[in-house]
Structure 1
Amino acid sequence: MKIVIFAPHPDDELFGCGGSLLKWMNAGNDIHLIYLTDNRALIEWGIKENQLIEECAQQYKDLTKDEIAEIALEEAKKVSKSIGLPATNVHLFEIHDQDLENNIELAVDLSKEFAKGAHRFVIPSDNNNHNDHQAAHTIAKRTAMELQLKNTEFYVYALYNVLKAPRDHQIKIKMAEYRDQLYELMKGYKTQLCLKDTRMGWETFKRRRFERFGVFNYNEMNKFENF
C-alpha cells in the first residue's frame, strides 16, 4: 500500500501519526513523507509566544532564519532516515514556515509528483487554528482532487487541537510498542525541543497507547468539520 503523509513542519509527522507511521513501515507499506515547510520561524515564534526554553535556544537565537531552516531540514533528513525511510521517499518542499497558506498552488504542484497512485493520505485536520496546519489540509485535498484519487482513503490526525470526527468515522491504532522508539526519534528534533509546548508533548510519548484518526473517503470531502 502506498501511504503519503503530509507534515506541515518537521516533527509533525511524529506528533500527528508517529506510532502509526512506524507500524505501517514494519508492515511493509510504501511510505512517502512530505515535509511542507522549513521551520525557519521557530525562534521568532518562540520569542513572540513566550515559548522558548532559554538554555536550549541560546545557541540558535543569533542565527538567521536561513540558518535555522538549514538546521531544521537536516534534522528532518536524519529523523526520517532513522525511521527507516529511503531518501527517495522523503520530500522536503522547503516552503517558508508560517507562509504555507500563500504557497498552496506551489505545494499542490510539488505534491502531485509523489502522490500519484496513493492508497492513503494521512493529513492534518480541517478547521485548524494553525495557519500552516490548515494550509497542509487544503494542499492534501486539492492534490487528491487534481489527481482524481477517488479510491484513496484519508486518515485525518489532530495537531494541538481536538479531532471531531463522527464515531463511525474514527479509528484507533494501537502503538504502545512503538512509543519508546517514538520518544527516541523526537530527540533528533533538537531545535523543536527548545519550545515549551513541544517539550511537554514529547513527554507524553512515554504514555501514548494509541493514535486516533478520522477516516474518510474522497466523496466525503467538505462534509465534516475536520474533513
Structure 2
Amino acid sequence: MNQMFKNLNLLKQDMVQKSWTIDSFNFNYNGYKYIVLVKLFSRGTDDSIQEMPKYASVKLEFLRYDDFSNSLSVFANSYKIDWNVKQFREFFGIQYGPNLGDIVQQFNNHFAKFIPTFVIQGKSTFEKSAMVYGLDGGNSKDPLRCYCYAVKRNPKGEKRSIYNDNKTKILREPLYNRLKSDDSLSFVYSMNESDEKNDSEIILNWTTNNKRKTT
C-alpha cells in the first residue's frame, strides 16, 4: 500500500524528538490559502477525541487564512486521511459530481506535496497565532492572551501544562529556552500588549520576587 503521506510520519518523529505537540504549515488549494495544524495526541487522555480511529497517527486541522473558526479536522496517517466526503466537499468548495473520488485523489496528491518532513523554524506571526488557537481548540479567550509578562511557580507538585509549555515555545522561544528546564514554572500572559515585558525584565522580576519570598 502506497504511503502517500509518508512525510507525516517523518514530521511526527521530529515533533516528538523536539517535544512539540502541534506544528503548522501553509497550504494552497483552489485559490484559497490555509494553515494546516498537525496535532499529536495520547490515546485515552484527550477527552475531546471520542471516536479516534485505531490507525490514526496525527490529527490534521485545516484553518482558512481569513477565518480560523472556519476549519476542518481529520485524522490521518502515512497511508490515508479519514475524510468525510460531504464535509470535505463543502469545506473546500467542491461541487458534487460523479467523479468525486477522482477529485479526492487529486487533492490528496496535491496536499502531500506541501507536508514538511521536519518542524520548520521561523514561522510567521500569523502562523504562530493559528498554532496557539489550535492548541486551545478555539474554545476560550485564552488564545487572545498572547503577551507574556511574568512567570510563576505552580503549587507544589504541579507541572507546567502542555498547553502553557507549547504556547510559550511558539510565542516566546528564547524565554522558553532559558527557563524550560524548570517545569514547575508557568508563563503568564495578558490580552493587553502594553503589559508585555521582554525576557530580561521577566527573569529579573521573577528572580527578585523569589528572593523576597525566601528571605
Which structure's relative contact order is higher, taking Cα pairs within 8 Å and 6+ residues apart? 1
Look at both structures and tell me which one has the larger radius of gyration over its CA atoms: 2
The normalised TM-score by structure 1 is: 0.28
